[in-house]
């Protein structure tokens, strides 16, 4: 979250020099996909007791959604940046892709265990 906040604080004029195709959506996807995975891992392996798997998956998605909204709001105060619904949708799409990946990997792993 600190990395995302720091990157979101960079003025837009500094970022306009980056000419890599699709750099913006790729960066959002990598950052928010990773954030989702880390939130999920933290919730599902909490020392006070393991949360039910589906609760961990949903709670991590809610955390990422709220953080994404707050990040877009934060960017409205940064010179040359603005809050964009498209960015939030990219963030949530990345989180959903990771969520689906976790579920698929878990189902494959469970099939191997049960034989």
Residue 52 phi, psi dihedral angles, 5° rounding? -55, 140
| Residue (of 54, 15, 73, 7) closest to 34 by Cα position | 7
In a domain, 74, yes or no: yes
In a domain, 89, yes or no: yes
- Round to the nearest angstrom and report the end-to-end CA distance of the chain: 40
User: pTM score > 0.75 for this model?
Assistant: yes
The rounded radius of gyration (Å) of the Cα atoms in the chain is 16
In a domain, 35, yes or no: yes
Cα(32)–Cα(81) distance, rounded to whole angstroms?
Answer: 18
Cα(6)–Cα(31) distance, rounded to whole angstroms?
Answer: 12
| Residue (of 27, 23, 20, 9) closest to 79 by Cα position | 9
Cα(33)–Cα(102) distance, rounded to whole angstroms?
Answer: 11
Check residue 49 and give its pLDDT.
Answer: 52
In a domain, 12, yes or no: no
In a domain, 19, yes or no: no
Check residue 114 and give its pLDDT.
Answer: 77
Averaged pLDDT in 10-residue chunks for the chain of 115 residues: 93 70 89 97 72 85 97 94 94 98 90 77
**Tally of structural domains, the chain:** 1
In a domain, 7, yes or no: no
Domain span including residue 108 = 26-114
């Amino acid at each position: 979250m600190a990395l995302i906040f720091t990157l979101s604080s960079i003025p837009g004029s500094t970022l306009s020099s980056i000419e890599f195709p699709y750099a913006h959506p790729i960066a959002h996807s990598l950052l928010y996909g990773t954030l989702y995975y880390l939130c999920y891992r933290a919730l599902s392996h909490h020392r006070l007791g393991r949360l039910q798997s589906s609760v961990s998956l949903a709670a991590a998605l809610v955390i990422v959604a709220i953080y994404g909204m707050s990040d877009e709001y934060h960017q409205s105060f940064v010179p040359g940046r603005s809050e964009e619904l498209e960015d939030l949708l990219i963030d949530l799409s990345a989180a959903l892709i990771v969520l689906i990946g976790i579920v698929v990997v878990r189902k494959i792993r469970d099939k191997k265990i049960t034989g």
